[in-house]
Structure 1
C-alpha cells in the first residue's frame, strides 16, 4: 500500500525596534515570532528549540525576556533574570508545538557596537522520541532502518527541520565599490511568485520596467535547471519581477553576476499560469551544491554555503560582500487569504572557481 508522510514545518520572524540611526548604548527590543500555521505543515512538531546567540555588538539586559503571546516555551523566563551576570545565549524549548500555534518572545539588548546583525533559528523534530545515549535515533522497526525520529541535519536532503531569520541594526547600504553605484536598495525583498493552481493575468509591462537582455545564463545542476539571466531595473525604488517567466532576474543595484560583491538573482516559485516556476525547488539546495554563471566565455562556479528561510523585510541577504557571492531568492509559504507569500528562500553561494566555458550558449533556453 501507499504510505503518506506527514511532516511539521515551522517559520520564525525576527524584528527589532529601533533598528536604524541607533546610538551606542541604546536599549533595543527584539521580537521573535514562531509560526506553526503554514499550509506546508501537516502535524505537530516536537523538541522545538529557538536559539538566539547575541553577537559582541549587543549586550543582553537582564530580566527582560517575556512571553507576550501564543504558546509559551517550557523554558522559564526567570532563567534569563540574573542581575550582575552576562548572558549571550538565549535558548527556548517546547516539548511539543501543536499545529496551528504561534509563540511571541521579546527581550531587550543594549547596542554596544554598530552595525550588528543578530540571527535566531528554530529547529524541531518529527516525533516525540529521545535519542539513544550514542546520540543516534532509535529504530522503531527491525524491518526498516529508516523508521526513526527525524531532526535537523543541514547536510541532509530531507531532514531540513530548521529555519533562520535575522535583523541588522544600523544596516549600511548594500552599495560598496565593486557592485553598485551607491543607490539605496528597497526595504523589502521582491515578491517572486503567484497563486498556485490558478491563472493570474498581468498588465502590459511598462517600458520603464522592461528587462535588459544579457549574454549571461545560470545553471543549477542539482535542480536540472538552466536559464537566461535578464536585468531587472530598480524603478521607483523597487524591483518589479512580475514579468519574469523562465528567466532569472539580476536585481539592478547588486553586483553583476561574476563580479566581486553580492550578486542577487531571483526567479518565480510559481508562474502566472499557476504552475511551478524555475525556482520551485530552490529550497532543496544544500551546502556544497554548485551553481554556475556562464558569462562571456567563462564559467563562474559558486558553492552553496547557506539556505535559509527569511521574512520579506530581511534585506540582510542583499548586503555588500567584499568577495564574489551569489544570492538566489524566491518565495515560500503562500497565504491564500492575503494572496501573498509569507517568506522568502535565500540561498547564498561563494565563488570558488573561474574556468573557460566550453558549453554552447543557453541564453534563450531553460530546462
Structure 2
C-alpha cells in the first residue's frame, strides 16, 4: 500500500505559511525614524518697539473636533475544544467490528508514508507519527491494510461500510479516549491524491483513516486510496 505524503507534519503547514506572510508584512510596515517632526521653523519675533499698539487680539482657532472612538475589534474566533497531546494506543470501530493496536510509523526515504508489515497473520493499523495525536487540533492520520497476504481481509477491509455518524474510539497513553464521529468517506486515485485536503490544517481535532482500494487484477496493484474523514465528538 503506497500513500503519498508531503513529508512533514501537515498540521503545521498553514501555520508556518501564515508566519512567513506575517514576517513579510511586518517588514513592509517597519516604523520610520523615531525623531519627531519639528514642523516649519517660526518666523523672527516682532519686537515690542515695532509692534502695532492698536493690533486686535487674534481670535483663537476653533477647537478641533474630538476624534471618533475607534471601532470595537471583532471578537476572537472561538475554536472547537480539543484534547492535550497523547500518543494513541488502540483504535476501535464498533459498527464494523474493528479493534486494533496502533503502531507508530513515519516516512519512507521517498517521502511516502510507511505502512505496517504484514507477515501473513494480519497487521495492526498504524498512526503516522508526523501528524497530530488523535484528539489534538489538526488531522491525525491512521493507516491500515485492506487485505492480507493470507487472502483474508486486512484491518481496514470494511472502511467502505462506515456511514456518517458512526463512532471511532482511540484510546491514548494518558488513559483518555478520543471519540470521533464519521463525517464522510472519499475515494481518490493514487496519482491524484489531494494531499492538502487530507493532511492540511483543520480548526478542530479530526481523524483520517486511510487504506487502499481499486484493485486491478491485471497488475495485482491497488490504484486508489479510500479515506474516512471524522471529527472529535463534542
Which category of TM-score, normalised to the shorter sequence, fits these structures? 0.5 to 0.7
Decide which structure has greater helix share. 2
Residue matched to 1:283: 160
Larger radius of gyration: 2
Residue of 77, 94, 100 corresponding to 1:221: 94
- Runs of 4 or more above 4 Å deviation: 178-182
Q: Deviations over 1:152-180 (max 9, x none)?
A: xxxxxxxxxxxxxxxxxxx9x86244999
How far has the Cα of 1:225 moved from its partner? 1.0
2: CA distance, partners of 1:270 / 1:179: 34
What is the 5 A alignment of 1:112-261? Answer: 175-177=10-12, 216-236=89-109, 237-244=111-118, 245-261=122-138
How far has the Cα of 1:325 moved from its partner? 0.3
Residue matched to 2:146: 269
Q: Tell me, what secondary structure is at the counterpart of 1:273?
A: coil
Contact 2:125 2:143 in 1 (8 A): yes
Residue matched to 1:326: 207
Q: Tell me, what secondary structure is at the counterpart of 2:233?
A: strand
Decide which structure has greater strand share. 1
2: CA distance, partners of 1:229 / 1:180: 28
Contact 2:89 2:102 in 1 (8 A): yes
1: CA distance, partners of 2:16 / 2:211: 25
Residue matched to 1:304: 182
Q: Deviations over 1:170-216 (max 9, x none)?
A: x9x8624499999xxxxxxxxxxxxxxxxxxxxxxxxxxxxxxx661
Q: Deviations over 1:334-359 (max 9, x none)?
A: 10222211211111000014xxxxxx
Q: CA, structure 1 residues 174+291, in 2 after alignment: closer, same or farther (shift >3 Å)?
A: same
How far has the Cα of 1:285 moved from its partner? 0.3
Q: CA, structure 1 residues 175+301, in 2 after alignment: closer, same or farther (shift >3 Å)?
A: same
2: CA distance, partners of 1:311 / 1:341: 9
The unaligned stretches of length 5 or more in structure 1 are 1-170, 183-213, 354-367
How far has the Cα of 1:229 moved from its partner? 0.7
The structure whose RCO (Cα within 8 Å, separation 6+) is larger is 2
Q: CA, structure 1 residues 215+322, in 2 after alignment: closer, same or farther (shift >3 Å)?
A: closer
Moved more, 251-260 or 293-302: 251-260
1: CA distance, partners of 2:145 / 2:16: 27
2: CA distance, partners of 1:271 / 1:180: 38
Q: Deviations over 1:115-137 (max 9, x none)?
A: xxxxxxxxxxxxxxxxxxxxxxx
Contact 1:179 1:261 in 2 (8 A): no
Q: Deviations over 1:34-91 (max 9, x none)?
A: xxxxxxxxxxxxxxxxxxxxxxxxxxxxxxxxxxxxxxxxxxxxxxxxxxxxxxxxxx
Q: Tell me, what secondary structure is at the counterpart of 1:278?
A: coil
Contact 2:13 2:200 in 1 (8 A): no
Q: CA, structure 1 residues 215+293, in 2 after alignment: closer, same or farther (shift >3 Å)?
A: closer
1: CA distance, partners of 2:16 / 2:89: 21
Q: CA, structure 1 residues 242+221, in 2 after alignment: closer, same or farther (shift >3 Å)?
A: closer
